[in-house]
Amino acid sequence: MPSDIPQSIVGKELPKGKFQSTVSVQCEHIEKMLHKGTRDKFTFYSDEPPRLGGDDNFPSPLTYIAGGIGF
C-alpha cells in the first residue's frame, strides 16, 4: 500500500539499519489523579475519571498512548 506522505519528506525508502531514539518527559503529580507532563516548550495534563479517583478534566494517560500509536 503506498504511503500518503510525500516522497520529498521520507525519500524513496525507509532508512536501513537500527534507529534509536530517547524521549524524556518531566512528570509531576499535582493532586488526586491529575498529572502534568512537560517536554521542551510543550505542557500536557492527564487525569482519570471519578471512578478511578480523578476529576476527568483531561484525557487519561491511556488516551495519550492510543493517540501516539495513531499518529
| pLDDT (tens digit per residue) in 8-42 | 776 667 667 777 889 999 999 999 999 999 999 99
Report percent pLDDT > 90 for the chain. Answer: 68
Residue 64, domain member (yes or no): yes
C-alpha cell at 17: 539499519
Q: Which residues have a Cβ under 8 Å from the Cβ of 36 and sit 6 or more positions away?
A: 27, 28, 30, 43, 44, 45
CA atoms within 13 A on the CB side of 38: 6
Instruction: Kindly state whether residue 35 falls inside one of the protein's structural domains.
Output: yes
Asked whether residue 6 carries a pLDDT value surpassing 80, the answer given is: no
In a domain, 53, yes or no: yes
Task: Write down the pLDDT at residue 41.
Answer: 97
15 assigned to some structural domain: no
Query: What is the model's pTM?
Result: 0.69
Answer whether residue 50 shows pLDDT above 80.
yes
Residue 3 lies in a domain: no
* Overall number of domains in the chain: 1
Q: Exposure of 34 by Cβ count < 10 A (0-12 exposed, 13-18 middle, 19+ buried)? A: middle
Does some domain include residue 14? no
The domain of 58 spans 26-71
Under a CB-based contact definition with an 8 Å cutoff, are residues 39 and 23 in contact? yes
